[in-house]
Structure 1
Amino acid sequence: MTSALLQHSETLTIPPMGADRVRQRIDRTTKRVNHHIDALCPSTPADACATWLPPGQATEATGASAPVVARRLHRALTAPVRHLADAGGRRWRPVLLWEVIELLGGDSEHCGPLIAATELLHTGSLIVDDVQDASPLRRGRPAVHTVFGVPTAVNAGTAAYFLWDRAVQLTFPDDAARRGDVRALGLAALRAAHAGQALDLQGHGEEMDQAVAGGDRHTALDLVRVTHRLKSGSPVAAALEAAGFVTGAEPELRRALGAFGSAVGTAYQITDDVADLRGVMRAGAPTKQAAEDLRSGKVTMPLAHAVGRLPQHDLNRIWQQMREGSGSATAVVETRRELAACGAVQACLDEADQLVNSAWSQLEPLLPATDHSRWLYELALSIVRRDQVA
């Protein structure tokens, strides 16, 4: 890799492929991914038993009750999951997995169920996350729990995790060893992600109190980083490591793929914290409230990075307002401005780029020396630099 690719993020402008060509290629792959999402979790009630029940139990749903079981499973599981999945989203996780499998000489079409499961697992986590955060809006639509109710949303969201199991069976029907390896990756990722969500739900208020009082941001920052890595990095790491298993990659390459996936997923979550401050728009409409995390007193990367960058009295004022939920709309707007002006936002963007570049420097020498490898790097940068894949 050339040294220019490892320089400060401000020297890394639009990748050589060009933002438009990156977006076009993502769009083409996304259409293929959507086809496999439709196959893994069909939107028709008649397919609900095969989608949600293990093979042996699915065959038991026969006779006069079969249509009733199918309709109810569709209403309680398929419809909530498809409500959010059909709202779009960037689909970058399955697109990234698709491209890695292709780069390593695998058949992405054959692995389509596994690739689709990566997106649907993420969809399930968003459904549950919105319940826990009481978020009213997701991807420009009412959140699932506001449409189907909290109990149904929680059950459907967690049920979506198990589509990974169905995908593994469909992808490797005659390879028990490979099924075991890929299932284990999925389970480990879910364990890590739930630990990350537990840390997120606990919040980092105590650590932020200490940081504001003492001026040392390191503990708060490290805790946010660990939370992001577990919650957002681990599922992507598992997906890319799975690509190594399905293509027969050597252990060293599988580990490097996992580390790269973790870096991209974690970096994306860092820039998601920035996007939350700025507000996320798609087709001219908001997909979630601007500064939603800030309004709820959540400690995110920009806020943690502000420690030591803002004057003590300004930081204390901001934190007390946000911690107590007493910040007015005007105060929120001013806080967004102050976080950008002090360099906290840029520190987040720089850290995200550094994560991707560092992991890439370890992965790139193990990959085929082709243009496809270069494209993978450009794709990763475009994912993290969210404005290029809106």
Structure 2
Amino acid sequence: MIALAFPEEYKDRVKKINEYLMRSLDIIENKNLKAAMAHYPAAGGKRLRPLLATIVSEAVGGKPEAAIPFGAALEIIHNFTLVHDDVMDEDDTRRGIKTVHATYGIPEAILSGDALFARAFEVALDSDADDTDLVRLVDILARSVRLLAEGQQMDIDFEDAKTVTSADYMKMVELKTAVLYSAAARGGAVIGRGTDVQEEALAEYGRLIGLGFQIWDDVLDLRSDQQTFGKPVLNDIRNGKKTLIVVQALEDLHGPEREEFLSVLGKKNAKQQELERARDILENAGAIDHATKVADSLIAEAKKALKVVKNQAHKKALSEFADYLVKRKT
């Protein structure tokens, strides 16, 4: 099952996506800029967003390979955001390697992110679609980037906010993370020539699994380890991130435990022992378990949208894809 490991057919597809993705960067002539741009793509990855675009395209009756350029464009956008996020969060490692700015410098990281952003739109225009649909794909991409930036700003704003609600968090995640999954599903439906009803339902499916993905990512930051997760864990606490887990805990915690947790949240120079104690407070408060239940409920809701997919094999693939997002180890 895809929930445990991608079957061979998807491994082959991911390989094709990777090959296309790396070829798309060959156009860059400056070797230093190209190296910085390729730093994360070359490190590998699950390519979940482009893979989703191909699965959806096939599910509505199109060819999966037709969605690879658009999927690659989304992956390039995703990598652009990672480069800039790491600069903002001052993270030195990602996916088990040094971050772009730690390797090449902050100016180079900013430039490479800008270049990735621009290249994504060029790549999207290589999609196998007519002119009308190409315009739609570019619009999907542009809107996604705008919303993503709003979500990132909300995330930054939360760090200094005295009060953040669960609804605030969900809105931020919808903009920052879920938007690219929704875009992948919508773009795949456009390329596969699905009906309007299918497009809207699958875009909603993408939105919901994207929310589940991010909540599960927040869980992994607390329950995983750096070697497995591919980046430093407990960083959300150090960076003062108001995740759903933290928001829920702050609603439930009172007295000395609450004060102890708040004394560590956002403490950049916090010792490992302090971070682990803060995590234990979240665990004991039941906030992490609460988040996993929310993620599971979002995935269950997403599966309801799959009734627009008539082919049972394709519906099963999308169902298992959704399950994978909240069962993965990395």
What's the TM-score once normalised by structure 1's chain length? 0.79
Write the letter of the residue equivalent to 2:321.
L
Q: Work out which of the residue numbers 70, 74, 77 in structure 2 matches 1:118.
A: 74
Partner of 1:88: 44
**Distance of aligned partners of 1:358 and 1:291 in 2 relative to their CA distance in 1, 3 Å threshold:** same
Whether 1:356 aligns to 2:299 is yes
Q: How many residues align?
A: 330
CA contact (8 A) 1:273 1:300 kept: yes
Q: Deviations over 1:136-193 (max 9, x none)?
A: 01111110011111112112112212233212321247x2211111111111101100
CA contact (8 A) 2:22 2:42 kept: no
Q: Look at both structures and tell me which one has the larger radius of gyration over its CA atoms.
A: 1
CA contact (8 A) 2:2 2:324 kept: no
Q: Deviations over 1:101-145 (max 9, x none)?
A: 122221222332212122111111100100111110111111001
CA contact (8 A) 2:3 2:323 kept: no
CA distance in 1, matches of 2:242, 2:134: 39
Q: Work out which of the residue numbers 189, 201, 218 in structure 2 matches 1:256.
A: 201
Q: Equivalent residue of 1:111, what SS?
A: helix
**Distance of aligned partners of 1:18 and 1:128 in 2 relative to their CA distance in 1, 3 Å threshold:** closer
Runs of 4+ in 1 over 6 A off after TM superposition: none
**Distance of aligned partners of 1:25 and 1:323 in 2 relative to their CA distance in 1, 3 Å threshold:** same
Question: Once the 2 structures are TM-superposed, how far is the Cα of residue 265 of structure 1 from its aligned partner?
Answer: 1.4
CA RMSD of aligned residues (A): 2.1
The runs of 5 or more residues in structure 2 that have no matched partner are none
CA distance in 2, matches of 1:248, 1:225: 31
CA distance in 2, matches of 1:111, 1:322: 42
The runs of 5 or more residues in structure 1 that have no matched partner are 1-16, 49-69, 209-218
Q: Work out which of the residue numbers 297, 304, 318 in structure 1 matches 2:247.
A: 304
CA contact (8 A) 2:49 2:180 kept: no
Identity of aligned residues (%): 25
Question: Once the 2 structures are TM-superposed, how far is the Cα of residue 234 of structure 1 from its aligned partner?
Answer: 0.9
CA distance in 2, matches of 1:231, 1:303: 18
Question: Once the 2 structures are TM-superposed, how far is the Cα of residue 347 of structure 1 from its aligned partner?
Answer: 0.9
Higher RCO (C-alpha under 8 Å, 6+ residues apart): 2
CA contact (8 A) 1:205 1:299 kept: no
Partner of 1:182: 137
CA distance in 2, matches of 1:326, 1:169: 45
CA distance in 1, matches of 2:62, 2:325: 22
Q: Equivalent residue of 2:43, what SS?
A: coil
What's the TM-score once normalised by structure 2's chain length? 0.92
Q: Work out which of the residue numbers 245, 263, 273 in structure 2 matches 1:320.
A: 263
Partner of 2:223: 278
Partner of 1:367: 309
